[in-house]
Amino acid sequence: MKRLVVSKKYDGKKLINFLLSEFNNLAKNTVFKALRKKDIIVNGKRISENILIHSGDEITIYITDENLYGGFKLDVIYEDDNILVLNKPSGISVTENSLNEKSFTKLVQESYKTAMPCHRLDRNTCGLVVFAKNEASLNILLNKFKEKEIEKYYVCIVNGILKEQSKTLEGYLFKDTKKSQVYVIDTPKTGYQKIITSYNVLKSNQDKNISLLEIKLETGKTHQIRAHLAHIGHPIIGDGKYGINEINKKFHAKTQYLMAYKLKFNFTTDSSILSYLKDKEIKLKYKEYENLV
């Protein structure tokens, strides 16, 4: 059972379109079957038709995880006795959330019972996630991430052509937990936290008016990359919250083009049983992003 709340983006849209956007591996036939069986509930009422939905509607679906997420297979990028680095697909949260879906961590623990995540990625951001296989490694890695001794790099495709090839952006971010949204401004203000986001332009396409960026997070706040880039006028393609719907539709982007593609283990202090990871770099290829630009 999964419980979803309809966002403003899908106000007045068809139920099936909403569900297919939420679960990338969900087949349209599966939804029609669930409707026939009245396994979908909207605002407390079981339905059998592909109705129009509205912002704030509460939808409960009784569809198996296998049908929602597909025959899930872990994409292991690196593994040793102490850690595990996996490529998380978009559309699934690292840990439990209000959607009552099976988390990425739960799926990982079906194969690695003791594995625990050392950091998070947004639900719709794909890419590298580090898991510790034992408590000693977990404590070390949590500290290393906190002390910025593990650097995180991302690639993304944004709308527009940036004026400068590389830049370190500074701003101030406020998190509205009720709306699950953040806001960025340029000057300090009570309740706002300072954020630093560095980018480097990897490729641009004037005809498509898009750019491929490498991002390095100097600080790691909720939705930081997405909100910061949107704030400077270059939202990520496919971002339903901070992006531009007309542009997302133009590129047929069902999810945000944002990938956590590289980790650098720049240990400068004692790392005990993980000392062998010092100066190690783990990364994913992003050829599909290059081909889009």
Q: What are the start-end ranges of the H helices in the chain? A: 15-22, 28-36, 65-69, 104-109, 135-146, 224-231, 245-250, 287-292
Is residue 62 within 8 A of residue 1, CB to CB? The reply is yes
User: Residue-wise over 170-206: b if at least 16 C-beta within 10 A, else e?
Assistant: ebbbbbeeeeeebbbeeeeeeebeebbbbbbbbebee
Among 122, 176, 239, 270, the one annotated catalytic: 122
DSSP 194-238: EEEEEEEEEEEETTTTEEEEEEEESS--TTHHHHHHHHTT-PBTT
Euclidean distance between CA atoms 125 and 4, whole angstroms: 19
CA distances from 4 to 91, 97, 188, 248 (A): 13, 11, 35, 22
The question of whether 239 is a catalytic residue gets the answer no
170 — phi, psi (to 5°)? -125, 140
Q: How far is CA 74 from the centre of its chain?
A: 17
**Number of other residues whose CB lies within 10 A of the CB of residue 56:** 11
Active site residues: 122
